[in-house]
Structure 1
């Protein structure tokens, strides 16, 4: 039989418009936040703690919201007097990380694909990238084009433009649709509805783009393996996000060149698509490499060690996409261009296929959590059960 507390939590979740079930992970966040709410030593560290103080109890939807608001800077863990080995064993970053994994899995679309989050490890991601690249190389070899006369960088002489669009547009569209449906379900679960001020949207966008809460809550950066702080995690995140954005802008502009201006690839090295793509490529080379380096040496108490294969898979795929793309740019005037092209496209395809069911999900769910926080801050303080 359910306890009164459990029934109350379920009723609150149903009142939000979408049921969010309780799990051992959400119960642990509720326990941790209950103690933190009594202490409040970390109240000024990040958005999690001001959002926490608006509540007296934490239902599963609150746990998912607060978990995705957490940026895992580690400040609260190193400041906490109740952290392990204290008998309370409070570890906010780990509790939040474990709920974030359930957020991704529980809100995945289609729902049956939620299990992919638990299986999207480094081996799977690299095997998929290698398999797709090898398939492309075998097709080239069967047609006698593994090494060819220089084609002056004309990719479409290897793969026609229409074929590239037919291969990649559905996969990219599926990734966008799956992520959009997942975050829609998340938003309906954690938000009761109501007005969304434009100022809240601007604030959330500003905080997301600046990676505001990766400053450790005190402007000194994230905590390293010990009590030292560093800004490198924030810098590498900026390089990764900026590189991804520049590569997307490069592809978008090249598409406009092709369809609106009738300008066909290949484009000169000094053209806008190539310049943006090159800059983005270097950002996606340095940023993921730096984040992987930090991930390998970070204290196991920071976050959930069981999720590190998923984290590293995403970083490795970003790194390989950038590495193969820059190699293709460097060798596009040589006889190896076709081989370099299919290897690059294989890694890009692997990235797109795993995008909705891997670490990239944290970006969209965190953005939604920041938006809820910005909306919530503009409402009168009402402390009680459930949402403020």
Structure 2
């Protein structure tokens, strides 16, 4: 603790840019301190992937800490089971220590890093400003081209924005997002030892990601939220959010196939495959994030990093805006106000995608990479790793 206090005092005497680096180092050393204590105790060894990975190490260098932090799903079962948790003098708080390091890894792996730092400080404001400004821009573009002059009953979105224009715009945004995440995952993967990736490891990691295995808590009964009572609510709301997003993506893919491969152009009937998939996905993206926001507000402050609330809530707000505007657009697509709702929805979607690499969405990408890394590592012969930079 003395070393952590010294680093914190050192950070307070530095400028803003230098503070971020020292603060990250302090967070990493706190995880290393906590893991040393946990490694001696091992009461929580069967709780999640963090603790088996921990037992393969005697000391914890930077790459080890980054792996363990991104393996942590913040179920908080270990905090409520820990005999050394606050107010004990050891003050072992695994969920908060891991959350603080995860936030630093999002900024470190992001490109350009300045955008990651901005979103971390003011995530809600950045999310709303990005979506709002893009929506206003699209509304002005519609007004200048006369696209507001639609008649009731005209549900053709492409009469407002040509299909090929939207495909190019969102294609470029998607390429940018994939490129940023590609850079980040490559940086994360290069840390530590490199092992060949086997098919079995990929299958295990995919299963753990899709099932949210480690949101089951230490005994499979769920997470702890505001108390030591177990609940599966967090796992279910995450599932609704994730699969809602995937259903919306599937709807876009099917509609694209209809347009380019079958020559079947929108608008599509209410009971067509793209519309049904998009509606179900939109409902999932409405209920899931609303539930996560409710849990976030009620969460025990000891279980998380209070400094991440702007980032968490900015991401949730964008998901709710995307889902809500999309469902409204579907319901009002035959009204004269359709171009307004279309511009609002497209602005929210583009805002979501542009901020994805810098906000809370990043945790899903790096957590998946960490699960794959762990699945690969545990297939190698056990060899206790010494830390060191």
TM-score, normalising length: structure 2: 0.91
Answer with 141-150 or 340-349: which moved more: 141-150
Alignment counterpart, residue 67 of structure 2, candidates 65, 68, 73: 65
Report the Cα offset of residue 151 of structure 1: 5.0
Residue among 81, 95, 98 paired with 1:96: 98
**SS in structure 2 at match of 1:34:** helix
**Structure 1 residues 67-82: aligned runs within 5 Å:** 67-82=69-84
Structure 2 partner of 1:160:
162
* Structure 2 CA distance for partners of 1:223 and 1:373, relative to 1, 3 Å: same
260-269 or 231-240, larger mean C-alpha shift: 260-269
Deviation per residue, 1:296-333 (Å, 9 max, x gap): 11011111010011011111101110100010000111
Equivalences for 1:168-247 in 2 at 5 Å?
A: 168-190=170-192, 192-247=193-248
CA distance in 1, matches of 2:343, 2:109: 34
Partner in structure 2 of residue 148 of structure 1: 150
User: Is the 1:105–1:117 Cα contact (8 Å) retained in structure 2?
Assistant: no
Matches within 5 A, 1:341-356: 341-356=342-357
Q: Which residue of 2 aligns with 1:379?
A: 380
Measured in 2, the distance between the counterparts of 1:184 and 1:98 equals 21
Instruction: Tell me the CA shift for residue 284 of structure 1.
Output: 0.4
Aligned to 1:15: none
Partners of 1:294 and 1:203 lie apart in 2 by 29
- Give the equivalent residue in structure 2 for 1:123: 125
The structural deviation recorded for 1:372 is 1.1
Post-superposition offset of 1:150: 2.2
Residues of 1 paired with 2:93 and 2:342: CA distance?
46
Residues 319-338 of structure 1: matches in 2 within 5 Å?
Answer: 319-338=320-339
1:255 aligns with 2:256: yes
In structure 1, distance between residues paired with 2:178 and 2:147: 34
The verdict on how the C-alpha distance between 1:153 and 1:195 changes in structure 2, with shifts beyond 3 A counting, is same
Q: How does 1:105-124 map to 2 (within 5 A)?
A: 105-124=107-126
Contact 2:201 2:375 in 1 (8 A): yes
Supply the distance in 1 between the matched residues of 2:363 and 2:328 (Cα, whole angstroms). 29
Q: Report the Cα offset of residue 139 of structure 1.
A: 3.5
Q: Give 1:366 shift.
A: 0.2
| Matched residues, number | 368
Cα distance, 1:125 vs. partner?
A: 0.8
Superposed CA RMSD:
1.8
How much does 1:178 deviate?
0.3
Report whether the alignment pairs 1:38 with 2:34. no
Q: 1:116 to 1:148 in 2, by over 3 A?
A: same
* d(CA) in 2 for partners of 1:73, 1:231: 10
Q: Which residue of 1 aligns with 2:134?
A: 132
User: In 2, Cα distance between the equivalents of 1:318 and 1:384?
Assistant: 41
TM-aligned CA deviation for residue 100 of structure 1: 0.3
Instruction: Kindly state the Cα deviation for residue 109 of structure 1 after the two structures are TM-superposed.
Output: 2.2
Query: Do the aligned partners of 2:147 and 2:159 also contact (CA within 8 Å) in 1?
Result: no
